Amino acid sequence: MSATALPKMVPAAFMSVVLIWSTTPLGIVWSSESVHPTMAVLLRMLIALLLGSIIILLMRIRLPWNPTARKLYTVSSIGIVGGMLLSYFAARYLPSGTMSLIFGLSPLISGLLAQKILNEPKFSPMRFLALAIAFTGLGIVCSAKLSLASDSWVGLLLILTAVSLFSLSGVLIKTVKINIHPIASTVGALIYSTPMFAIAWLLFDGTVPVDTWQPRSLMAIVYLGVFGSLIGFIAYFYVLQHLNASTVALVTLITPVFAMILGAQLNGEAITQALAIGASFVLTGLALFQFGDQLRTRLIKNASTK
């Protein structure tokens, strides 16, 4: 692949990440309709691990196994196992759009954790404002969900824990200093994670009722294994290498909107007035968190030059 061809693939990779991450929550909901959540996520991981291993062999990508690499795989598995397993359980209580919206809070939670773990600078007043706006929106969404169904609080607790573990994993990954191919990193994390999903399946289900599995669930599992767990990560790492962090951060603003639209159109999920208001607060908070300081600096600079 030539150097001139690389930039042309960046927009396609970016859109791939947006589309895959937008459809993942709905895929989780569909895959768990007739397949137990632990079996659904286990099959998804096995598919991704098998395909990833084949890619590594064919492309002759080195898979490091030194202590530093194993540490990377371990901390990566925290987000994969905790984030995905709890999301699959939450899918039985929450619509896919709501799940995507709450997962969109990961940059804010990651920022808070990074202050403690990575000693990053404290939030600016703008970011504190963004945090308050976003969590106000989350409160509106949660209050609406709790009033609709008595067991919705279970799903909300599960998905909030999932996004917290996912964010924690992302911050811990930054503490591991290693030069590794993104595909090798993904496969290594899957090697560590897949046995944990197998243990979860044995503990919570342990059965293989193939006769009850529906085609839509099976197709969703295959889609998530191929795209959600493999191609999506490869495209994401590719985009990170060619775009600045602020541009990549747009993914967290776009995917919840697409996910809610897809959930409403394809799965009959209701977008209530409270959900729409809460979502607007969350997305506004995310936008201010990512771009508020830049906008404020630009406005002050423009004002001073007049």
- pLDDT (0 to 100) of residue 37: 95
Cα gap 250→248, rounded to integer Å: 5
- pLDDT (0 to 100) of residue 270: 81
Choose among 266, 253, 193, 259: nearest CA to 229: 193
Greatest alpha-carbon span in the chain: 73
230, 51 Cβ separation under 8 angstroms: yes
Q: Calculate the average pLDDT of the chain.
A: 86
Q: What integer is the mean pLDDT of 67-89?
A: 93
How confident is residue 258, by pLDDT bands cut at 50, 70 and 90? confident
DSSP state of 212: G
pTM for this one?
A: 0.84
The CA–CA distances, whole Å, from 143 to 148, 156, 207 equal: 9, 10, 36
Cα gap 260→265, rounded to integer Å: 9
- pLDDT (0 to 100) of residue 51: 95
Question: Model confidence over 39-77: pLDDT tens digits?
Answer: 999 999 999 999 999 999 999 999 999 999 999 999 999
138, 105 Cβ separation under 8 angstroms: yes
Choose among 14, 9, 39, 22: nearest CA to 204: 39
Cα gap 255→22, rounded to integer Å: 5
- pLDDT (0 to 100) of residue 6: 44
Residue-wise over 101-114: b if at least 16 C-beta within 10 A, else e? Answer: bbbbbbbbbbbbbb
Question: Model confidence over 121-146: pLDDT tens digits?
Answer: 888 898 899 889 988 988 888 776 55
Question: Model confidence over 197-255: pLDDT tens digits?
Answer: 999 999 999 999 999 999 999 999 999 999 988 888 778 777 766 666 556 667 777 88
> Where exactly are the structural domains of the chain?
16-205+217-305
More confident residue, 25 or 254: 25
Choose among 272, 16, 72: nearest CA to 191: 72
